[in-house]
Amino acid sequence: MMILEYVPPGKQEADRLIIDMGLRFPEEDTPGIDFIIPNASYLKGKERTIRGIFITHGHYDHMGAIPYLAGPLRNPPIFATPLARGMILKRQEDFPHTPKLEIHTIDKRDRRPIRLGPFSVEPFHVNHNIPDSIGLAIGTPLGTVVHSCDFKFDFKPIGDEPADLQRIAEIGSRGILALLSDSTGVEHAGHSISESVIFENLDPIFREAPGRVIMSTFASLIGRQQQAFLLAEKYGRKVALEGYSMKANVEIAQGLGYLKIPKGMMMPIEDAERLDPKRTVILCTGAQGESNAALMRIANREHRVIRIREDDTMIFSSSIVPGNERSVQYLKDALARQGARIFHYKTLDIHASGHAYAEDLKLMLSLVKPKFLIPIHGQYSMLKAHAELGQSMGIPREYTAVGYNGAIIEFNRERIQVRDEQIQAQYVFVDGLGVGDVREVVLRDRQMMAQDGMFVIVAIVDRREGRVRGEPDVISRGFVYLRESGPLLAEARKRVKMLVEQSGKMKPVNWTYVRDNIREDLGKFFFQKTQRRPMVLPVIIEV
């Protein structure tokens, strides 16, 4: 999520545009979290200054936070191309209690700018790995700012048109103040692979498969799904879809004309187990090893219909998202043990990045010819590499600005700088029905329990005598196996009784202090004996 602000001369208040409003998926260091959304606290009290929200394409990391943030921001108008609009509205069905969105459709062929306050916005077509992706040329009183969107240049795309280079060049010829350009693929030399190459490499796999073809890819990768339908038609196969998001996106894309599916090709998933394997394709989600996705249920033999056979051909037509390596490897192992033959992007070019490589980024710079370069999207090292690429193309170092989450980049006609102050950009965690109620301290507790477990010790104390009745009860989860840890537990009980009875001699007893003392003492003791630091939870009950 990016905020573009224009502050008129002599005024304090800005006019604002928001570009994208996405979510981030959790990683191993965020246990229990469903996903992460942007921190929009900076905009609190500024809602009336937001002129509009522009969604550049239909991926969740660019539009997935709309149900959580649009309402609190007083529902500004949203602008999106037809496919992204359809996906936004479909997702909104899962949030029936949120305000109805004010959403406008962008027609990429309409050259008339969208005027919102001091801004005039012109979309232009780029390639990505989902159709209907756009960049934005944003006119301001100081000059034009170009936002590239996630993009690449594909001269032979499948299910899409080539990027509109003529339009981009025409925009660049006006004189561009700043280019905000995608940096995700900058560390790859050359040009990104065309989808037509992927199609050529998938063709022999479909042709030579001895049985069913099971192809897993991102639910939003509409172009790759189109390739599966084309190859299925070519080799006389029918296609079954599995996965809620896959079915939803295919329905939207087909309804809008972005997917061409021959009549009679689709079949219910139940037929995929009964039909001749040589006439069957299963298109499903779960290539990232998600625990509840269709492919993981198939691999674990938990799917209601599909069972892996020895003549099945498994295609992973997606790269691995960082953080998912272990779960994807487990998935491949489980499928291989059941006899499936596996193809993935490391063995063959059957997945293409949707992001521009170094030579594509140079082409964008050549077409736009900006005064200032602001690398966006990607890790900090990628932003830095993109800035250096810009310098190799003749953009002076002082005319580039490398930001970070929460950075404020300020520029006018003469200069650009990353300001010293920053806005709040801490993660906002969505966990079940809770939004933002899981803070860093809660996450640290989860990480501690996941790493070394927890140890609960319950002591019943006689209020009059200040002594422990009987032996303290112990509950251990993820720390030690109680039946095999008798000496350790006996010493822990002994320490608790001693600490309680020492404190019980003082009147009145500060039981909060006693619990903290037990927690610290047992923490040190357990680390000394086991080199582990479980979460220690002492419970004292007075009777």
- Report DSSP state, residue 353: -
Give the CATH number for residue 336. 3.40.50.10710
Among 375, 407, 434, where does a domain finish? 434
284 shares a domain with 215: yes
One domain for residues 207 and 308: yes
Question: Active-site residues: which are they?
Answer: 182, 355
Taking the C-alpha atoms of residue 111 and residue 121, their distance in angstroms, rounded to an integer, is 10
Give yes or no: residues 517 and 389 share one domain: no
* Cα–Cα distance measured from residue 35 to residue 377, given in angstroms and rounded to the nearest whole number: 18
CATH number (domain holding residue 476): 3.10.20.580
Instruction: Supply the DSSP symbol for 193.
Output: P
In this structure, the answer to whether residues 328 and 359 fall within a common structural domain is no
Q: Do 471 and 495 share a domain, yes or no?
A: yes
Query: Residue 466: what pLDDT?
Result: 72
Print the domain residue range for 28: 2-191+353-434
Residue 373 φ/ψ region, left for φ over 0, alpha for ψ in the -120 to 50 degree band, beta for the rest: beta
Task: Give CA–CA dist 402/48, Å, rounded.
Answer: 29
For residues 289 and 335, state if they share a domain. yes
Look at residues 324, 343, 362 and tell me which one is the last residue of a structural domain: 343
- Same domain, yes or no, for 100 and 19? yes
Residue 432 class from Cβ within 10 Å (0-12 exposed, 13-18 middle, 19+ buried)? exposed
H-only helix segments in 277-316: 294-299
CA distance 476 to 480: 6
Same structural domain for residues 326 and 398? no
Residue 191 CB contacts under 8 Å (≥ 6 apart), including other chains: 153, 357, 359, 360
- Do the domain assignments include residue 385? yes
CB atoms closer than 10 angstroms to residue 543: 8
Do the domain assignments include residue 27? yes
* CA pseudo-torsion sign 324, 326, 329, 334: negative
Please check whether residue 207 is in contact with residue 174, taking contact to mean a CB–CB distance below 8 angstroms.
Answer: no
Helix (H) or strand (E) holding 359: helix 358-368
Q: Is residue 61 part of a domain?
A: yes
Fill in the amino acid letter for 495. Answer: R
* CA separation for the pair 472, 103 (Å, rounded): 61
pLDDT of res. 32: 64
Q: What confidence score (pLDDT) does residue 379 get?
A: 92
The pairing of beta strand 143-147 with beta strand 176-182: parallel
CB 176 within 8 A of CB 344: no
User: Could you report the per-residue pLDDT of 422-464, keeping only the tens digit for each?
Assistant: 999 888 877 765 676 556 666 666 666 777 788 898 988 887 7
Q: What's the domain count of the chain?
A: 3
Question: Residue 374 in contact with residue 182, Cβ under 8 Å?
Answer: no
CATH code for position 8: 3.60.15.10
pLDDT digits (tens, 9 = 90+) for 230-280: 999 999 999 999 999 999 999 999 999 999 999 999 999 999 999 999 999
The pLDDT score that the predictor gives to residue 64 is 93
Q: Residue 52 has what pLDDT?
A: 98
Low-confidence ranges of the chain (pLDDT < 50): none
- Tell me what pLDDT residue 446 has: 64
Q: What are phi and psi of 321, to 5 degrees?
A: -70, 130
Beta-strand pair 454-462/467-468? antiparallel
Q: How far is CA 246 from CA 5, 58, 274, 294, in A?
A: 37, 13, 22, 10
Residue 348 lies in a domain: no
408 and 326 co-located in one domain: no
List the one residue out of 47, 108, 53 whose CA is nearest residue 81: 108
Same domain, yes or no: 131 and 16 = yes
pLDDT at 334: 93
> Would residue 200 count as lying in a domain?
yes
- Mean of pLDDT over the chain: 90
204, 339, 341 from 208: Cα distances, Å: 6, 17, 12
Q: Single out the residue in 434, 461, 483 at which a domain terminates.
A: 434
**What tokens were used for 188?**
């790859």
Residue 42 lies in a domain: yes
Token pair, residue 262, equals: 């021959």
User: Residues 171, 31: one domain?
Assistant: yes
Q: Are residues 9 and 58 in the same domain?
A: yes
* Upstream peptide bond of 118 is cis (omega within 30 degrees of 0): no
